[in-house]
Structure 1
Amino acid sequence: MDSCERRLTPYEKYHYISRNLQEVLGEDKIKEVLAQRDLKIYWGTATTGKPHVAYFVPMSKIADFLRAGAEVTILFADLHAYLDNMKAPWELLELRTKYYEHCIKAMLESIGVPLEKLKFIKGTDYQLSKEYTLDVYRLTSVVTEHDAKKAGAEVVKQVEHPLLSGLLYPGLQALDEEYLKVDAQFGGVDQRKIFTFSEKYLPQLGYKKRAHLMNPMVPGLTGAKMSSSEDESKIDLLDSPANVKKKLKKAFCEPGNIENNGVLSFVKHVIFPLFEAGSEFVVPRKPENGGDIPFDSFVKLEEAFSKQEVHPGDLKAAVEGHINKLLAPIIKVFSNAELKKLSERAYPQLAKHKSGTAVSAVSDEVSPSRLDIRIGKIVDVSKHPDADALYVEKIDLGEEKPRTIVSGLVNFIPIEEMRDRMVVVLCNLKPAKMRGVESQGMVLCASVDDPKQVETLIPPEGAVPGEKVFVENFESGQADDVLNPKKKIWEKLQVDLKTSSECLAQWQGNNLLTKSGGKIKSKSMAGAPIK
């Protein structure tokens, strides 16, 4: 491999560096460097959720960079992970960084990348130094709040009351280019605004502008972005062949549809780039169906699939074999008892309450998955005996008997319209007395104060009492048995619950959904807080 790299011309090196990318900023700069020496590139990853099979997409590009003779630094952005709305608890960051390093090394070895050509570094190895800290302060003296927020719009979770840490995030990523002494940064096209932020502000500190290499956003198995928090959207690096088969079986792969097709995209961005010259991608078929079909290029495969000459089931079978081949050496590495223990400590499994209810082992992590939200049906309603503005409702939540819930809806919804109404209920608040009547939950409503308007949230058609409601991209967590009022979990989460411009109920822009995929909404209130 080394001898081949030395014979590559600058033109051939650029071909490997740029192929399958969606966009390159600074193409001339890269070619100018390649005319004199090999390129220095860095790729960073925030150590939050578990790496999954989609990480093979950047890994295959890193293999391309190495094929082109580039020096590659992989940055484990542990400090960035904490600053991004505290996605990872600080006490787990060190453990998760170690887990990431073992995973990524195993992935690169799985695709035949020599590790001696790579450098691994943690953000906290240099981001806490005096020099770096002073540069952060220098950067804050020239960056506007508007530019900082805009730069992180596609990467940092956008909330109504953003923390200052999220505004610092793009500046730190820009400074990384200088402190890692690279010519170019590699990332997804979702980071484009951070890259242009870097190009604008680094020169203002007297540092040179770098080039930027952007991968397209590859859809997950459901057709949307592959997410660490959406279990059915991703294949874990340690998934068994049986789990791979199960998840691929559910994957979105509509006949003839080449848009947002995660299975086809994986073939394009991972499998084909790893092939040696002369290799073919073989789609297995039974003899009675015409036998196996070999493809020597992705373009030919995509064309055949669009013409429905390749059946989705056959394509999935071919991909299944390649994924299992990629995962086998990683699973072998993690069969080590020490790494098994590391995995368990970095990503604690669910513990059991005395009641038998599963709860998060990291109880201080504020995630909407901690909310027990369900569809309910009001089976009886009456006026509160001691409060004119309150209803006392009996709500069927799929339990043995209806719950009693007190709601301040008298002035907004006539009593005859409350009976048999389908509602959305927060079920794990600590029961509280409201003018002498114990309320065992909260009916969620869209509400504005000036003038005062309130609408109960509307479940999707076909929803049934007791059906769980979850926040999109936060499906994998478990609800607390009872939310601890001292921790103010509900209060922290509620500030980011609101309706969208289309009246859809959302948390931080992620839809509230039922298991069937139905969306929760308000009848007419857009941009309204949900409480």
Structure 2
Amino acid sequence: MSSNLSVEERLSIIKNNLQEVLGEEQLKSILKERDPKIYWGTATTGKPHIAYFVAMTKLADFLSAGCHVTILFADIHAYLDNMKAPWELLNRRADYYEVVIKGMLESIGVPLDKLRFIKGSDYQLNRDFTLEIFRMASVVTEHDAKKAGCEVVKQVDSPLLSGLIYPCMQALDEEFLECDAQFGGVDQRKIFTFAEKYMPALGFKKRIHLMNPMVPGLTGGKMSSSEADSKIDLLDEPRAVENKIRKAFCEEGNIEQNGVLPFVKFVLFPVFKLKGIVSFDIKRPDKFGGNVSFETYQALEAAFAAKEIFPLDLKNAVASYINILLEPIRKKFETSTELQALLREAYPAEAAASIAAKMASTKIEDSVPVKNDFSRFDVRVGQVVEVSRHPDADKLFVEKIDLGESTGPRTILSGLVPYMTAEDLLGKKVLILANLKPAAMRGIVSQGMVLCADATKEDGTITIELLEPAEGSNVGDRVTVVALEGKPDEQLDCKKKDAAAFAAILAELKTSSTGIAEYRGTPLMTAHGPCQWQKS
């Protein structure tokens, strides 16, 4: 496409929807001679969210204008930013970012073979880069380094030296990635101007800087990985997306403070252009005006400002389009046990922000009595140490399961014979409901229940899978639900006096589309992360 475009046309594509360009004349000069080299970097800290689509659509613009594009997964930067990514998690976080960002690009139709992907640690730990950091440290003032990072690096009362190194490294990335321009959000402007000042001082050329506007969060303010209500995670289920969009600030007729319209402007309409979709469609009953379509964002905004479009109608349409965008990414994780393991390893405790987001989207009602919820269950991590078939029951396994108790392994009976073999069970760490009243089954007393997931397939084939604790969980660890960590019953009589409560609690236990075990939408957790079943 770019070979048939003039310099002005290519420049227009590059600048489309940008808030600011530093070095436009320099960019024009390069366009007259060759294809520019642009890089975009992202620190691999919290989990990417839908606002990342804003950057993805701009990368598509750069490619269509004939630019060479590099994507940097800035893992070392993630650690320097107040250790938002612990050192031991750097590789897995960067791997997760690469998977989901490639998934986003594929979702909007951007060819991956036109892009270069690189991790910061691939070159930032090398001798040459380290020497340049030392050289920069000899000319940069503490004041300038602190000022440069103030919009990006987490600010604390006693600033860490790492926060001062961060902007120095980002400036040097321009040289080591051999780029003509760096692309980022307008929140990075001070780092960009810092680079423009200090890179020439080290004998390097001054680069061009391209800045996107910051898309506001759903509740106002910057969309952030650490603000659960402000963003939609790329793996959020359709219902969670709908709930979050419905909670977004979207006052009738208000186009200035709006948590929904900016996403339509900076993501959906650019994606429509990439995919050849001609209009933004809002579906509504005839009594409310019937279906309506908009071919441009400006037309949609004008209709909303004139109160011709009701906020709920806009929200429903946006939620539907977002779910279409996210579906291929969700499918990647739903069908891959390897990616599910990557997710657990990169975010072993699902991070406090993720748990808070889950709770916000599916609140546990205050009206539920304290002693009629999951806190009554004493669920423990156990390990199966012995398995045999029940001598008088075709469908029952007799298992010896170690719960870390001084009395030794418990005997627990499970009707799992039709669904798995003894080898499938032996040695596995499982979840055990440990405070059930012991019950005799064909002459053998069972001292608990193995928790499983109903993974019945679309063709109706009945499949039962074991629920497993997060990797690193220990035998005997308790499994809890956030905000419901109360003392469990000493014993539950599921056959008689506690039968109704037991059935009600079981009915609220589900698994998410990614296999996470949940109670009323909130994950079952050990200290090491969420529990789930392993999809094959």
Aligning the two structures, in what range does the TM-score lie when normalised by the shorter sequence?
0.5 to 0.7
Rounded Cα–Cα distance in structure 2 between residues aligned with 1:360 and 1:77: 21
SS of structure 2 residue aligned to 1:49: coil
Q: CA deviation at 1:194?
A: 0.2
Rounded Cα–Cα distance in structure 1 between residues aligned with 2:277 and 2:342: 40
Q: 1:40 aligned to 37, 60, 65, which one?
A: 37
Deviations 1:327-357 (A, max 9, x none): 0111111121100110011111369xxxxxx
| Residue 93 of structure 1 pairs with residue 114 of structure 2 | no
SS of structure 2 residue aligned to 1:35: helix
Distance 1:296 1:141, change over 3 A: same
Rounded Cα–Cα distance in structure 2 between residues aligned with 1:170 and 1:350: 28
- The match for 2:415 is none
Rounded Cα–Cα distance in structure 2 between residues aligned with 1:298 and 1:28: 29
Q: CA deviation at 1:260?
A: 3.2
- The match for 1:49 is 46
- The match for 1:144 is 141
Deviations 1:66-117 (A, max 9, x none): 1111111000000000001111111011111000000000000000000000
Q: CA deviation at 1:273?
A: 1.0
* Unmatched runs of 5 consecutive residues or more in structure 2: 355-369, 372-480, 486-536
SS of structure 1 residue aligned to 2:339: helix
Q: CA deviation at 1:278?
A: 6.9
- The match for 2:341 is 341
Deviations 1:190-238 (A, max 9, x none): 0000000000000001000000000111111111211112222111111
- The match for 1:308 is 307
Rounded Cα–Cα distance in structure 1 between residues aligned with 2:79 and 2:162: 9
**Contact 1:278/1:296, CA 8 A, preserved across alignment:** no
Rounded Cα–Cα distance in structure 2 between residues aligned with 1:208 and 1:292: 54
Distance 1:124 1:223, change over 3 A: same
- The match for 2:16 is 19
Q: CA deviation at 1:262?
A: 2.1
- The match for 1:381 is none
The one-letter code of the counterpart of 2:70 is T
The one-letter code of the counterpart of 2:343 is S
- The match for 1:291 is 290
Rounded Cα–Cα distance in structure 2 between residues aligned with 1:360 and 1:309: 36
Size of the aligned set, in residue pairs, is 360
Rounded Cα–Cα distance in structure 2 between residues aligned with 1:87 and 1:271: 30
SS of structure 2 residue aligned to 1:334: helix
Q: CA deviation at 1:316?
A: 0.8
- The match for 1:120 is 117
| Residue 236 of structure 1 pairs with residue 236 of structure 2 | no
**Contact 1:21/1:216, CA 8 A, preserved across alignment:** yes
Q: Which residues of 2 match residues 455-470 of structure 1 at below 5 A? A: none
Deviations 1:165-196 (A, max 9, x none): 10011010000000000010000000000000
**Contact 2:148/2:167, CA 8 A, preserved across alignment:** yes
Higher alpha-carbon deviation: 113-122 or 272-281: 272-281
Rounded Cα–Cα distance in structure 2 between residues aligned with 1:17 and 1:190: 19
Provide the TM-score with structure 1 as the length reference: 0.65
Rounded Cα–Cα distance in structure 1 between residues aligned with 2:228 and 2:121: 30
* Unmatched runs of 5 consecutive residues or more in structure 1: 352-358, 362-398, 401-476, 482-531
Rounded Cα–Cα distance in structure 2 between residues aligned with 1:100 and 1:282: 31
Percent identity of paired positions between Structure 1 and Structure 2? 63
The one-letter code of the counterpart of 1:322 is Y
Distance 1:342 1:268, change over 3 A: same
Deviations 1:472-510 (A, max 9, x none): xxxxx979x9xxxxxxxxxxxxxxxxxxxxxxxxxxxxx
Higher alpha-carbon deviation: 104-113 or 153-162: 153-162
Deviations 1:340-393 (A, max 9, x none): 110011111369xxxxxxx999xxxxxxxxxxxxxxxxxxxxxxxxxxxxxxxx
SS of structure 2 residue aligned to 1:63: helix
SS of structure 1 residue aligned to 2:38: strand
- The match for 2:184 is 187
RMSD: 2.4
Rounded Cα–Cα distance in structure 2 between residues aligned with 1:48 and 1:18: 28
Rounded Cα–Cα distance in structure 2 between residues aligned with 1:360 and 1:166: 22
Distance 1:292 1:80, change over 3 A: same
Deviations 1:429-476 (A, max 9, x none): xxxxxxxxxxxxxxxxxxxxxxxxxxxxxxxxxxxxxxxxxxxxxxxx
Q: CA deviation at 1:6?
A: 2.1
Rounded Cα–Cα distance in structure 2 between residues aligned with 1:296 and 1:29: 34
| Residue 7 of structure 1 pairs with residue 9 of structure 2 | no
Rounded Cα–Cα distance in structure 2 between residues aligned with 1:209 and 1:123: 21
Provide the TM-score with structure 2 as the length reference: 0.65
Q: CA deviation at 1:18?
A: 0.5
Distance 1:350 1:289, change over 3 A: closer
